[in-house]
Amino acid sequence: MTSLRRALIGLALLAFGVGLASLALIVTSDHVSPRGLAASLTLVAGWGFAGTGLFAWYRRPGNRTGPLMTAIGFTWFFRGLEASNSDLLFTLGALGLTVPYAILVHLLVAFPSGRLETRTQRALAGIAYFVTIPMQAAWVLFADPAAEGCEGCPDNAFAVGPGSVGEAISAVQALIAIPLIAATVVVVYRRWRRSSASERRALGPVLVTGAVAFLFLLVQLIVGQAGVSDDAELVAFVAGLAAFACLPIAFLVGLLRSRIGRDEEIRSALTAENAQLTAELRATVEELRASRARIVAAGYAERRRVERDLHDGAQQRLVALAMNLRLARKKLDSDPAATAELLDEGLEELAAASSELRELARGIHPAVLSDRGLEAAIAGLAERSPVPVEVLGTPKGRLPESVESASYFVIAEALTNVARYARAEQATVRVAQANGSVEIEVSDDGVGGADPEAGSGLRGLADRVAALEGRLEVNSVAGEGTVVRARIPCG
């Protein structure tokens, strides 16, 4: 159980106890009437506010509405103290009697966050607290319950001066409270007007009920000040209390409706998120499509290159060989010396054709790789490289064929680039197996400044590596050599 939850349960029990105590004081009161109505309104409002407030506090600890409502609930029970027949309790009750109204002003003008954000909100709440706490305290120092028409009320336990001063203070309180309440109702109305339809669903019940409660309080104060009709004042008072007691219910209704509203918000948020995901997915699909197209194109380009190499290389040599042989045959009898020369040239062409075919076949797929694995194939690459190559660590066992093949071609392409462009003294090949991946690094001490996007060779390799869920990166700062790194998962 969280400490907040423990504290809130404690407060709930306290509110229950305070409510029962208030009930006891009200039903035994000599000066409250009608006692039944007062008791039920006090309990409904007090428990209602405290319960709803604690619930809201628990659900949204960051929102101040919960604590404010809880405070209204607790301060509401000053009404119970005020019902007491004891002078001290009665006077203490009178002292706190109006505080819940100030908290309600605070709650309504700052609804639903509970935070006083604008100057108007702060001013209204400030005035409300001023009227209901220090002014109320000042009034208590002079109030004379009997003189104010309370039959059977206990005496003021804190009275220090004449009741007339108390009456004057009370009148000033009412004169401040009337415009204050009117202003609060206006602020609440404006807040309601500004709200969107979904906000109105959530805020409407509290704002409307709060405004109604305050309108009755306003009527009660005005009628009271004008002194026209005690009955009217009482009716307004009871109606205001009833509206006040309904506020927690209104709050719950708003909460319920806002939850429904929030479902819609969640739905629209989900829709937005969905759209975002769809867009990301589409981008990924685009990227995959592009890389697939590049792989296919690279395949065709590779076949074209092989055809070209065959045509320009071995085939030309064989054609020349055939012509030489034909000529040699023709000259066999007439010019044996020329024939021997032609045959020698033919042998040279044949050797060159054979070597070119071997080279080409290795480019298509190096036999040593499938026969003896990556280590031997890398050793072969290093041996054939015109730039001295140091090989540091190669995987001992065999890897999946596609991984060995991609690793081999990454190293072969990188070393070809080193030989062609890097003007390097030395290259280093490092192959390590770690975390289920092969990590390949080919570095050189050459001129650097290679653009990985520019060459189709590395780009094609990057696609090939990506097709195995791997990554290829090229770091090539001018003057600092080039490092090609690839990481390929071993399946």
Partner 1 sequence: MPTTVLIVDDHPSFRASARRMLEADGYAVVGEAEDGAAALSAVRELRPDLVLLDVQLPDFDGFEVAARLEAAGECPAIVLTSSREISDLGSAVADSPARGFVTKGELSSERLAALTG
356 near partner 1, rule: CB under 8 A: no
Nearer to partner 1, 160 or 300 (CB): 300
306 near partner 1, rule: CB under 8 A: no
Structure tokens at 20: 């029962």
Question: Residue 276 gets which letter from DSSP?
Answer: H
Q: Shortest Cβ distance from residue 315 to partner 1 (Å)?
A: 5
323 near partner 1, rule: CB under 8 A: yes
Question: How far apart, in whole angstroms, are the C-alpha atoms of residue 27 and residue 78?
Answer: 15
Binding test (CB under 8 A) with partner 1, winner from 222, 253, 295, 318: 318
Binding test (CB under 8 A) with partner 1, winner from 331, 372, 430, 459: 331
Q: Which stretch binds partner 1 (CB under 8 A): 97-105, 294-302, 319-327, 378-386?
A: 319-327
CB–CB of 39/97 below 8 Å? no
CB–CB of 135/99 below 8 Å? no
The residues facing 475 across adjacent strands are: 483
Q: Shortest Cβ distance from residue 311 to partner 1 (Å)?
A: 6
Nearer to partner 1, 349 or 375 (CB): 349
Question: How far apart, in whole angstroms, are the C-alpha atoms of residue 223 and residue 215?
Answer: 12
344 near partner 1, rule: CB under 8 A: no
SS3 404: helix
**Helix, strand, coil distribution of the chain in percent, nearest 5:** 70, 5, 20
Q: Shortest Cβ distance from residue 329 to partner 1 (Å)?
A: 11
324 near partner 1, rule: CB under 8 A: yes
360 near partner 1, rule: CB under 8 A: no
Nearer to partner 1, 15 or 353 (CB): 353
Q: Shortest Cβ distance from residue 306 to partner 1 (Å)?
A: 15
Q: Shortest Cβ distance from residue 352 to partner 1 (Å)?
A: 9
327 near partner 1, rule: CB under 8 A: yes
Instruction: For residue 438, give the nearest of 369, 376, 488 by alpha carbon.
Output: 488
Extended strands (E) in 325-413:
389-392
- How many CB atoms within 10 Å of residue 491? 11
Q: Shortest Cβ distance from residue 369 to partner 1 (Å)?
A: 30
Question: Residue 386 gets which letter from DSSP?
Answer: S
Angle at the Cα of 55 (from 53 to 60), degrees rounded to 5?
90
Question: How far apart, in whole angstroms, are the C-alpha atoms of residue 359 and residue 374?
Answer: 18
329 near partner 1, rule: CB under 8 A: no
311 near partner 1, rule: CB under 8 A: yes
Q: Shortest Cβ distance from residue 322 to partner 1 (Å)?
A: 6
Question: How far apart, in whole angstroms, are the C-alpha atoms of residue 44 and residue 369?
Answer: 87
Nearer to partner 1, 65 or 339 (CB): 339
Task: Please count the CA atoms within 13 angstroms of the CA of 28 that sit on its side-chain side.
Answer: 11
Q: Which stretch binds partner 1 (CB under 8 A): 110-118, 168-176, 270-278, 324-332?
A: 324-332
326 near partner 1, rule: CB under 8 A: yes
320 near partner 1, rule: CB under 8 A: yes
Instruction: For residue 40, give the nearest of 246, 215, 219 by alpha carbon.
Output: 246
Nearer to partner 1, 59 or 308 (CB): 308
316 near partner 1, rule: CB under 8 A: yes
357 near partner 1, rule: CB under 8 A: no
Question: How far apart, in whole angstroms, are the C-alpha atoms of residue 147 and residue 5?
Answer: 47
Q: Shortest Cβ distance from residue 331 to partner 1 (Å)?
A: 7
CB–CB of 67/107 below 8 Å? no
Residue position matching structure tokens 């206006």: 186
CB–CB of 157/88 below 8 Å? yes
The site for partner 1, by CB under 8 A, has a size of 17
Name the region of 481 (left: φ>0; alpha: ψ -120 to 50; beta: rest).
left
Amino acid at position 246, single letter: C
Structure tokens at 219: 């009527």
191 near partner 1, rule: CB under 8 A: no
Instruction: For residue 19, give the nearest of 62, 96, 76 by alpha carbon.
Output: 76
Nearer to partner 1, 300 or 436 (CB): 300
340 near partner 1, rule: CB under 8 A: no
Q: Which stretch binds partner 1 (CB under 8 A): 151-159, 267-275, 310-318, 447-455?
A: 310-318
Binding test (CB under 8 A) with partner 1, winner from 319, 364, 392, 477: 319
Q: Which stretch binds partner 1 (CB under 8 A): 126-134, 183-191, 226-234, 321-329?
A: 321-329
Question: How far apart, in whole angstroms, are the C-alpha atoms of residue 300 and residue 442?
Answer: 27
Q: Which stretch binds partner 1 (CB under 8 A): 247-255, 326-334, 378-386, 392-400?
A: 326-334
Backbone φ, ψ for residue 449 (5° rounding): 75, 20
288 near partner 1, rule: CB under 8 A: no
Nearer to partner 1, 144 or 349 (CB): 349
Q: What is the CA radius of gyration of the chain?
A: 47
Nearer to partner 1, 199 or 348 (CB): 348
Q: Point out which residues bind partner 1 (CB under 8 A).
A: 311-312, 315-320, 322-324, 326-327, 330-331, 342, 349
